[in-house]
Amino acid sequence: MATELEFEKPIAELKAKIEELRAFTQQSGIDLSHEVVKLEQRLEELTETIYAGLTPWQRVQIARHPQRPTALDYIHGICSEFIELHGDRNFRDDPSVVGGIGLVDGRPVTFIGHQKGRDTKENIYRNFGMAHPEGYRKALRLMKQAEKFGRPVVCFIDTKGAYPGASAEERGISEAIAVNLREMAGLRVPTVSVVTGEGGSGGALGLGVTDRIYMMEYAWYSVIAPESAASILWKDSALGAKAAELMRITAQDLKALGIIDGVIPEPKGGAHKNPAEAVAAVKQAVVGALEELAGTPVAELLQRRYDKYRVMGVYAEP
Amino acid sequence: MLKDLFHKRRQYATLGLPESARQEGAAQKDNIPKGIVNKCKTCGAILMAKELQKHLHTCPHCGYHFPLDAPTRIEWTLDNDCFFEYDAGLTAVDPLAFPDYPAKVRKAVEQTGLAEAVVTGEGTLQGHPVVVGVMDSRFIMASMGSAVGEKLTRAIERAGQKRYPLLLFTASGGARMQEGILSLMQMAKTSAALQRLHEQRVLYVTIITHPTTGGVSASFASLGDIILAEPGALFGFAGPRVIEQTMRQKLPDDFQTAEFMLKHGMIDKVVHRKEMRNTLAAILRMHGSRGWGGGD
């Protein structure tokens, strides 16, 4: 059962009313089917209006929906076979980042992703998808492994940010992310990233320096989570909605700014409404990108990746 | 107790501050010594401008390092009159039409006389040619937007072309919020340029100055072949206040200081400002020739 978000309540109420009328028709024998049809029409219109006019903040709510498909959902949905691999070989296995090798239509691909949980217990285990340095180092180990065996790398990004805690600082979260940025820029295999939910700050970018970058329709990606921006700018994290508007964080914004290569369509209301459809859309985008990149000579691949990031930024010069 | 001695000194700080020092309200906020009399933030000692100058803006009593502006840092690091600035006219624009951002930049330009939060260029250090970048925390906390990212990337690329060692003095509150995702991507851009420099096997030294945090800490600041830091400099990803809020626990006093990071293996050496020039020169000498042959 999907939980409704605040702005989806009118839809849920109307749905409940339709059900009520249907039940009444069955019980009483009085034919209200005409009313039901009319209400169903209204439901369709209402749904259309609500989802067509989503504010950035409402999109953030969808991106954070507890039922939203996670990295492992996408990986298992896309692969016929998948072996998860663990650990950074230095300190521990960080459950906030998952990775391994999968077969996509018979071809091997290394998958890496931030992993969130579905319920509180699982989220505590996954640290709410906020990775420690060892998560980024595990990711890098798997990328280097992919490079050795000539497999492309696909990363699913879904994090509010890297874990802002003492343990992360002591073990060098800055260094772990920085090294990933540098090494991903030079990785000698094709790379694709998809922001599936939240793309928060350096913690997101730490898996995101890739040949192709996609975002799911309702995902957000920004230099900082909107409520954190609000608390810095206006000392009030409740103004997250305002910050979400100003900071241009939606998939459509990032496409317009030339940062991402494409927006992957989601089922109306979000991936959680129809996970199978969302998985199919992601698979199509990822496989399409890998087909395009396959066979590009490494020197050209690296040059294009460099050029892609080299032109990012807007400034003035006399 | 030594500390008590300094407590007594503190009383004098409230009286008789010359008018010239009082007028520097903005400069006092960023703690850069201005005027004739300054007070050490850590031990409370009253320091005359001449004395401070002699000690390169460090406290002779407790070793506290006052922040330095970029032009002074360059003057004190490089050989006399041999700095050629790169991209001096490169400036920020307001790509997201973010409220108050242009005014904020304008104010920073007026207050600092700089065009942006980093000054880049080339010069010599005890005769060794180097490419240098120095961030200035007076300029919107030396946050990194597109202009800072571009200036740094060009400096990195020039270091690669000329095969000059690259020295970056970092200080930053992180990526510049007002440019949103474009600021975040400067982390990727500078790191990609450093990947090339790494492959070109050109020496890159970062010098962490107070404070180096956020997106700058998690990109080029952490990628030096050798990472030095000034004593007491804060060096971390998330700020201590954020961490205290998340963890709901008090952090140790030295958390994220250069000394703490040294202990945790994140930097190579803590270097007093008075030793910095000589330390850098030694590192440059050690990378000046191949010496033993071998390698390829």
Cβ(A156)–Cβ(A126) below 8 Å: no
Cβ(B165)–Cβ(B152) below 8 Å: no
Q: Provide the pLDDT for residue A274.
A: 97
Cα separations in angstroms, B296 against B92, B166, B195, B292, B293: 42, 22, 19, 12, 9
Identify all chain B residues contacting A254, using CB atoms and an 8 Å cutoff: 181
**Å from A311 to nearest chain B CA?**
8
Whether B90 and A315 lie within 8 Å, measured CB to CB: yes
Cβ(B134)–Cβ(B74) below 8 Å: yes
B294: confidence class by pLDDT, cuts 50, 70, 90: low
Of the candidate ranges A67-71, A134-138, B138-142, B292-296, the one whose mean pLDDT is the lowest: B292-296
Whether A185 and B247 lie within 8 Å, measured CB to CB: no
Q: Has residue B63 got a pLDDT over 90?
A: yes
- Report the alpha-carbon distance of residue A182 to residue A90 in Å, rounded: 20
Q: Please enumerate in sequence order all residues whose Cβ is within 8 A of that of B204, keeping only pairs 6 or more positions apart, or say none.
A: B159, B165, B166, B168, B194, B197, B198, B223, B224, B225
Cβ(B151)–Cβ(B90) below 8 Å: yes
Nearest CA in chain A to B252: A166
Q: Pull the structure tokens for residue B102.
A: 């242009």
**Å from A124 to nearest chain B CA?**
14
Q: Has residue B26 got a pLDDT over 90?
A: no
Of the candidate ranges A41-50, A154-163, B21-30, B157-166, the one whose mean pLDDT is the lowest: B21-30
What's the average model confidence in pLDDT over A50-61?
94
The values of phi and psi at residue B17, to 5°, are -65, 125
Q: Has residue B214 got a pLDDT over 70?
A: yes
What's the average model confidence in pLDDT over B48-75?
94
Q: Provide the pLDDT for residue B97.
A: 95
A168 Cβ under 8 Å from any chain B Cβ: yes
What's the average model confidence in pLDDT over A67-95?
98
A235: confidence class by pLDDT, cuts 50, 70, 90: confident
Q: Pull the structure tokens for residue A210.
A: 């890739």
Average pLDDT, chain A: 95
Residue A184's H or E segment, with its range, is helix A173-185
Q: Pull the structure tokens for residue A228.
A: 């954190």
Identify all chain A residues contacting B182, using CB atoms and an 8 Å cutoff: 257, 259, 312-314
Nearest CA in chain B to A175: B222
What's the average model confidence in pLDDT over A196-221?
98
Q: Pull the structure tokens for residue B235.
A: 């060096």
Q: Pull the structure tokens for residue A223.
A: 């230099």
Q: Has residue B10 got a pLDDT over 50?
A: no
Residue of A233, A246, A309 with shortest CB distance to B185? A309
B34: confidence class by pLDDT, cuts 50, 70, 90: confident
Cβ(B131)–Cβ(B122) below 8 Å: yes
A244: confidence class by pLDDT, cuts 50, 70, 90: very high
**Å from B215 to nearest chain A CA?**
6
* Among the listed residues B63, B76, B57, B59, the one whose alpha carbon sits nearest the alpha carbon of residue B280: B76
Q: Provide the pLDDT for residue B29.
A: 55
What's the average model confidence in pLDDT over A276-289?
98
Cβ(B160)–Cβ(B204) below 8 Å: no
- Report the alpha-carbon distance of residue B18 to residue B293 in Å, rounded: 61
**Radius of gyration, CA atoms only, chain A:** 21
Q: Has residue B17 got a pLDDT over 50?
A: no
| Helices and strands counted in chain B (H then E) | 12, 11
Residue B253's H or E segment, with its range, is none
B240: confidence class by pLDDT, cuts 50, 70, 90: confident
Question: What's the predicted TM-score (pTM) here?
Answer: 0.92
What's the average model confidence in pLDDT over B43-49?
92
One-letter amino acid identity for A23?
A
Residue B209's H or E segment, with its range, is strand B204-213
A140 Cβ under 8 Å from any chain B Cβ: no
Q: Provide the pLDDT for residue A12.
A: 92
Average pLDDT, chain B: 89
The four Cα atoms A133, A180, B201, B227 give a dihedral, to 10 degrees, of -30
Q: Provide the pLDDT for residue A125.
A: 97
Cβ(B157)–Cβ(B189) below 8 Å: no
Cβ count within 10 A of residue A183: 18
**Å from B151 to nearest chain A CA?**
10
Cβ(A109)–Cβ(A145) below 8 Å: no
B293: confidence class by pLDDT, cuts 50, 70, 90: low
Pick the residue of B195, B202, B234, B259 with the most A CBs within 10 A to test the interface with A by mutation. B195
Q: What percent of chain B has pLDDT over 90?
A: 77
* Among the listed residues A75, A76, A93, the one whose alpha carbon sits nearest the alpha carbon of residue A155: A75
Cβ(A255)–Cβ(A262) below 8 Å: yes
Cβ(B160)–Cβ(B196) below 8 Å: yes
* Among the listed residues B74, B72, B3, B70, the one whose alpha carbon sits nearest the alpha carbon of residue B40: B3
Dump pLDDT digits (tens) for A143-153. 999 999 999 99
CATH classification for the domain delimited by B67-286, as one of 3.90.226.10, 1.20.120.1200, 3.90.330.10, 3.30.1330.10 = 3.90.226.10
**If you search the block for the tokens 């703490």, which residue do you land on?**
B260
Cα separations in angstroms, A281 against A49, B158, B247: 23, 43, 38
Identify all chain B residues contacting A246, using CB atoms and an 8 Å cutoff: 96, 98-99
Pick the residue of B172, B183, B191, B198 with the most A CBs within 10 A to test the interface with A by mutation. B191
What's the average model confidence in pLDDT over A9-18?
92
B295: confidence class by pLDDT, cuts 50, 70, 90: low
Q: Provide the pLDDT for residue A54.
A: 94
DSSP state of A250: B
Q: Has residue A25 got a pLDDT over 70?
A: yes
**Å from B260 to nearest chain A CA?**
9
Buried b (16+ CB within 10 A) or exposed e, B164-187: bbbbbbbbbbbbbbbbbbbbbbbb
Nearest CA in chain A to B199: A186
Q: For B237, what's the count of Cα atoms within 13 Å in the CB-facing half-sphere?
A: 30
What's the average model confidence in pLDDT over B94-114?
96
User: Are β-strands A315-316 and B235-236 bridged in parallel, bridged antiparallel, or unpaired?
Assistant: unpaired
* Among the listed residues B278, B252, B253, B279, the one whose alpha carbon sits nearest the alpha carbon of residue B268: B279
Whether A309 and B238 lie within 8 Å, measured CB to CB: no
Cβ(B120)–Cβ(B144) below 8 Å: no
Q: Pull the structure tokens for residue B111.
A: 């207050």
| Helices and strands counted in chain A (H then E) | 14, 9
Q: Provide the pLDDT for residue B241.
A: 81
- Report the alpha-carbon distance of residue B197 to residue B203 in Å, rounded: 8
Q: Has residue B8 got a pLDDT over 90?
A: no
Q: Provide the pLDDT for residue A2.
A: 56
Of the candidate ranges A28-32, B118-122, B144-148, the one whose mean pLDDT is the lowest: A28-32
Residue-range domain boundaries for chain B: 67-286
User: Are β-strands A81-84 and A97-104 bridged in parallel, bridged antiparallel, or unpaired?
Assistant: antiparallel
A136: confidence class by pLDDT, cuts 50, 70, 90: very high
Q: Provide the pLDDT for residue B15.
A: 34
Q: Provide the pLDDT for residue B290.
A: 63
Concatenated DSSP letters of A20-43 = HHHHHHHHH----HHHHHHHHHHH
